Amino acid sequence: MTHSEPRAGHSAARGLSDKSIRNLFIFPTIAFLIIFNIFPLLFSLYTSFTDFRASTNAPANWVGLENYSYLLTNEFIWRNFTITAKYVLISVSGQVIVGFGLALLLNRYMPFKGLITTLLLLPMMLSMAVVGLFWKLLYDPNFGIINHSLGLGKFEWLANPDMALWAVAITDIWMWSPFVMLLSLAGLSAVPKHLYEAAEIDRAGTFYTFFRITLPLVAPILMIAIIFRTMEAFKTFDLAYILSSQPTTELIAIRLYKMAFLEWQTGLSSAFAYIVLVMVVGITMIYVKYLNKVKER
Amino acid sequence: MSTKLKGLFAGVAMSTMAVTAANAEDLVIFWAEWDPANFLQELVNEYEEETGISVTVETTPWSDFQTKAFTEFNARGSAYDMIVGDSQWLGAASEGGHYVEMTDFFAEHNVGGVMAPATVKYYAEYPGNSGKYWSIPAEGDAVGWSYRKDWFEDPAEMEAFKAKYGYDLAPPATWAQLLDMAEFFHRPDEDRYGVAIYTDNSYDALVMGVENAIFSYGAELGDFETYEVEGILNSPQAVQALEDYKKLYGYTPPGWAKTFFVENNQAITEGLAAMSMNYFAFFPALLNEATNPHAANTGFFANPAGPTGAQHAALGGQGISVVSYSDNQEESFAFLEWFIREDVQKRWAELGGYTAHAATLESEEFRQATPYNEAFYQTMFKVKDFWAVPEFAELLTAANQRLYPFIVGDEGTAQETLDALAADWAATFKKYGRTQ
């Protein structure tokens, strides 16, 4: 009995060629990709040129570039794009400054460093919806701890159209700075120590060391963090949706959701999604090009 | 094929038939997650006792009620046999082929004669005045007001109010009085505020709040037959109504920028506001000592009249429709036949549901049952609604995009806001071929 088992297994293994095993792994994945990625992508591309509405039984009519032209000339859509751009700028730059700053602080000896690092990572482990609801309470003008701690009285964070976007961005910075911190820490720990020793021997100042050694060497990994965070910030939905319903916080993802699933303008929203996709790909390509340049240095 | 295999297939076929037969005895009604849905479940349990057919009321939070319902419709799914859908869905659901037409059922059972006329008009008929019906009015609802009786009846407050405004402090009968009282009770230094109104622009809350003013000021959203809006939506009465709604926003508690039924009930339970706008369906919680420490001091009144004496309110509530893709349409109609019976409607009202049944509504028993039923009864004969066309969501989005910045963000004037909204709506109606 003990001898027959390995023999049976050996014979079964011999029954499948390398090619069959390869196909066994590849074909389900390809089928999955075609069904759930490629087909929806192509179908939505087609619907973006039609007046299709999923909520009706009416057939889709070909409208050419009408949807794209409507979206690119609509004042509200442009407002959504402007708001999103502002949000991405505030949020990502805030995360880079705070995250990288924290990484610099942690990249030196300190007691309980492991515990502190773990605690700092906690925000990004929470669900977006939970964070949104939690911060909504923190921002509350009647009993919120933020106004109480800062002595701001009944300052309205979310009800004030000029402040609401900042409030959402601050929450996002709180949540995702640890991500930038984590990547930056990895980058900082990879900087060779002898470079700092050489700089010290040459009596280089702190700023000179930072801008000539630390930043250039950490830049590639920081760029990766920025690419990830930009893409994520660009498609932010839940946080802004839960925290505020101000028109000044209506990001493109929220507008897209409303257009697709509340108004059921399927054709128009497909076109909108493609415009967003092209923008995200374009921005990412610029970043990647810059990343390659940084690496070449 | 081996005998064993044949036996297995036969067994599977038998089981499938048995399951199908069992399913025909189980009806599923889809509704939003709120108290009336629980009351309906209690009611339909009695249907099961009578007929042996079980009915389940499946619910989902309000925030994704519409999305979930239409996703199921779009998939031609048979998960739900009946749906208690919003009145503004009528156009989209009937033209989309998702609802079964009930015109014959209406004629056979005289549904139009036994339900309150406004509920038949807004919950059941589409297109307007067409005589085609798609729903049975199920949960009548409209916007009303709750207020702090102890504040209003405080002798010192009454005296101070009369000295300032020249008339007695009592639940407001007009919008002008409502504004005066909101102003009078608005005392941020004492953590006490004048009024709580709807401001959430995620769906239809803000628009329905504004509708209460627009309708009572004698204005309309447009001509529901010709789809003309220019000169109607932006009429001087509508402009005045919008200006006054914005004034009310100035008397709300801090942070009142995304508020709907939960927050407006909290305004009373937490002792924040003197008056609060809300749907009647949410008033039972205000009479419950467990959820409202001020329950004994909470009163109710109908939406006040406007400057011309017109008195209307925004319609809430829903009608119950049979889903076209249901496998149990016959059983669903049998259930509806039971549901519209006078004794069942009376029981529905007893359980806490807001019946649309005219005779039950008019009965003294119903009107005296709770402190707010009289106001509800008065309101249900004066309700008006939003557009029920298939493109209602686009109209709603445009309204939110125009109204919110003016009311909450203090951008532009009421005239500019309504002029822009009229232009948006006119463009939408033109896009869908309703106007030239």
Nearest CA in chain B to A157: B255
CB B279 within 8 A of CB B196: no
The arithmetic mean of pLDDT across residues B167-191, rounded, is 97
A114 domain residue, yes or no: yes
User: Are residues A269 and A149 part of one domain?
Assistant: yes
Query: For residue A16, what pLDDT band results from cuts at 50, 70 and 90?
Result: confident
**B361 — phi, psi (to 5°)?**
-60, -40
The arithmetic mean of pLDDT across residues B177-199, rounded, is 97
Q: Is the pLDDT of residue B153 over 70?
A: yes
Asked if B390 and A56 come within 8 Å (Cβ–Cβ), the reply is yes
The arithmetic mean of pLDDT across residues B254-267, rounded, is 92
User: Are residues A284 and A199 part of one domain?
Assistant: yes
Predicted confidence at residue A57, as pLDDT, reads 75
User: Are residues A234 and A146 part of one domain?
Assistant: yes
The arithmetic mean of pLDDT across residues A279-297, rounded, is 85
- Give which of A116, A242, A233 is closest to A182, Cα–Cα: A116
Interface test with A, best of B193, B249, B256, B258 (most A CBs within 10 A): B258
Predicted confidence at residue B246, as pLDDT, reads 98
What is the share, in percent, of chain A residues with pLDDT greater than 90?
67
Distance CA A268, CA B397 (A): 15
Kindly state the greatest CA–CA separation across chain A. 81
**A101 — phi, psi (to 5°)?**
-60, -45
User: Are residues A210 and A100 part of one domain?
Assistant: yes
Higher pLDDT, A274 or A292: A274
User: Are residues B403 and B362 part of one domain?
Assistant: no
Predicted confidence at residue A10, as pLDDT, reads 53
User: Are residues A73 and A35 part of one domain?
Assistant: no
User: Are residues B27 and B56 part of one domain?
Assistant: yes
What CATH number corresponds to the domain at position B118? 3.40.190.10
CB B123 within 8 A of CB B135: yes
The arithmetic mean of pLDDT across residues A116-120, rounded, is 93
Asked if B70 and A244 come within 8 Å (Cβ–Cβ), the reply is no
User: Are residues B275 and B162 part of one domain?
Assistant: yes
pLDDT digits (tens, 9 = 90+) for B295-312: 999 999 999 999 999 999
Asked if B255 and A140 come within 8 Å (Cβ–Cβ), the reply is yes
A chain contacts of residue B397, beta-carbon cutoff 8 Å: 258-259, 262-263
Nearest CA in chain A to B206: A245
Task: Take residue A201 and report the two structure tokens written for it.
Answer: 């021997």
Q: Is the pLDDT of residue B364 over 50?
A: yes
User: Are residues A134 and A42 part of one domain?
Assistant: no
| 3-state secondary structure (DSSP) of residue A245 | coil
User: Are residues B355 and B257 part of one domain?
Assistant: no
One-letter identity of residue A282? G
pLDDT digits (tens, 9 = 90+) for B105-114: 999 999 999 9
Residue whose token pair is 């007046």: A51
Interface test with A, best of B200, B269, B397, B425 (most A CBs within 10 A): B397
Q: Are strands B313-322 and B383-384 parallel, antiparallel or unpaired?
A: parallel
| 3-state secondary structure (DSSP) of residue B112 | helix
Interface check for B254 against chain A (CB to CB < 8 A): the answer is yes
Burial class (CB in 10 A: 0-12, 13-18, 19+), B125: buried
B chain contacts of residue A142, beta-carbon cutoff 8 Å: 191, 253-255, 272
The arithmetic mean of pLDDT across residues B77-98, rounded, is 93
Q: Is the pLDDT of residue A49 over 90?
A: yes
CB B383 within 8 A of CB B313: yes
Tally of domains in chain B:
2
Task: Take residue A69 and report the two structure tokens written for it.
Answer: 């032209």
Predicted confidence at residue B197, as pLDDT, reads 98
Predicted confidence at residue B245, as pLDDT, reads 98
Containing domain of residue A34, as a range?
4-47
Residues ≥6 apart with Cβ < 8 Å to A84: A234, A251, A252
User: Are residues B358 and B214 part of one domain?
Assistant: no
Predicted confidence at residue A13, as pLDDT, reads 53
Distance CA A190, CA A188 (A): 5
Distance CA B10, CA B5 (A): 9
B4 domain residue, yes or no: no
Residues pairing with B357 in the sheet = B115
User: Are residues B301 and B210 part of one domain?
Assistant: yes
Predicted confidence at residue B226, as pLDDT, reads 93
Predicted confidence at residue B203, as pLDDT, reads 84
Q: Give me chain A's average pLDDT, please.
A: 90
The arithmetic mean of pLDDT across residues B395-419, rounded, is 95
Asked if A56 and B96 come within 8 Å (Cβ–Cβ), the reply is yes
Q: Is the pLDDT of residue A246 over 90?
A: no
The arithmetic mean of pLDDT across residues B245-270, rounded, is 94
A chain contacts of residue B96, beta-carbon cutoff 8 Å: 55-57
For residue B401, give the nearest of A76, A140, A265 by CB distance: A76
- What is the enclosing helix (H) or strand (E) of B420? helix B414-431
Q: Is the pLDDT of residue B24 over 80?
A: no
Interface check for A263 against chain B (CB to CB < 8 A): the answer is yes
**A63 — phi, psi (to 5°)?**
-120, 10
Distance CA B40, CA B139 (A): 9
Q: Is the pLDDT of residue A9 over 80?
A: no
User: Are residues B148 and B137 part of one domain?
Assistant: no
Interface check for B288 against chain A (CB to CB < 8 A): the answer is no
Interface check for B257 against chain A (CB to CB < 8 A): the answer is yes
- What is the enclosing helix (H) or strand (E) of A61? none
pLDDT digits (tens, 9 = 90+) for A167-213: 999 999 999 999 999 999 999 998 998 999 999 898 888 889 999 99
Higher pLDDT, B335 or A111: B335
Q: CA torsion sign, B130 to B131 to B135 to B140?
A: positive
Burial class (CB in 10 A: 0-12, 13-18, 19+), B210: buried
Tally of domains in chain A:
2
B8 domain residue, yes or no: no
B3 domain residue, yes or no: no
Measure CA A214 to chain center: 25
CB B116 within 8 A of CB B361: yes
**Most trustworthy range by pLDDT among A117-121, B124-128, B193-197:** B193-197
User: Are residues A22 and A85 part of one domain?
Assistant: no
| 3-state secondary structure (DSSP) of residue B304 | coil
Residue whose token pair is 């004698």: B218
A chain contacts of residue B72, beta-carbon cutoff 8 Å: none
Distance CA B171, CA B401 (A): 33
Helices (H) and strands (E) in chain A, counts: 15, 0
Q: Is the pLDDT of residue B12 over 60?
A: no
B6 domain residue, yes or no: no
A268 domain residue, yes or no: yes
Nearest CA in chain A to B98: A56
Predicted confidence at residue A12, as pLDDT, reads 54
Burial class (CB in 10 A: 0-12, 13-18, 19+), B128: middle
Q: CA torsion sign, A258 to A263 to A264 to A270?
A: negative
| 3-state secondary structure (DSSP) of residue A118 | helix
Which has the minimum average pLDDT: A46-60, A186-200, B1-15, B345-359? B1-15
The arithmetic mean of pLDDT across residues A98-113, rounded, is 92
Asked if B408 and A258 come within 8 Å (Cβ–Cβ), the reply is no
- Give which of B174, B331, B322 is closest to B240, Cα–Cα: B174
User: Are residues A237 and A109 part of one domain?
Assistant: yes
Task: Take residue A180 and report the two structure tokens written for it.
Answer: 């930038």
pLDDT digits (tens, 9 = 90+) for B32-59: 998 899 999 999 999 999 999 999 999 9
Distance CA B152, CA B146 (A): 12
Which has the minimum average pLDDT: A159-163, A176-180, B133-137? A159-163
Asked if B404 and A245 come within 8 Å (Cβ–Cβ), the reply is yes
User: Are residues B356 and B286 part of one domain?
Assistant: no
The arithmetic mean of pLDDT across residues B245-268, rounded, is 94
User: Are residues A221 and A90 part of one domain?
Assistant: yes
B37 domain residue, yes or no: yes
**Most trustworthy range by pLDDT among A280-294, B12-26, B162-176:** B162-176
Residue whose token pair is 């979310």: A158
What CATH number corresponds to the domain at position A235? 1.10.3720.10
Predicted confidence at residue B280, as pLDDT, reads 93
Predicted confidence at residue B17, as pLDDT, reads 44
User: Are residues A198 and A84 part of one domain?
Assistant: yes
User: Are residues B356 and B216 part of one domain?
Assistant: no
Task: Take residue B38 and report the two structure tokens written for it.
Answer: 């629980």
A34 domain residue, yes or no: yes
pLDDT digits (tens, 9 = 90+) for B208-236: 999 999 999 999 999 998 999 999 999 99
Q: Is the pLDDT of residue A2 over 80?
A: no
Containing domain of residue B335, as a range?
13-141+316-384
User: Are residues A13 and A123 part of one domain?
Assistant: no
Asked if A246 and B95 come within 8 Å (Cβ–Cβ), the reply is no
User: Are residues A151 and A116 part of one domain?
Assistant: yes
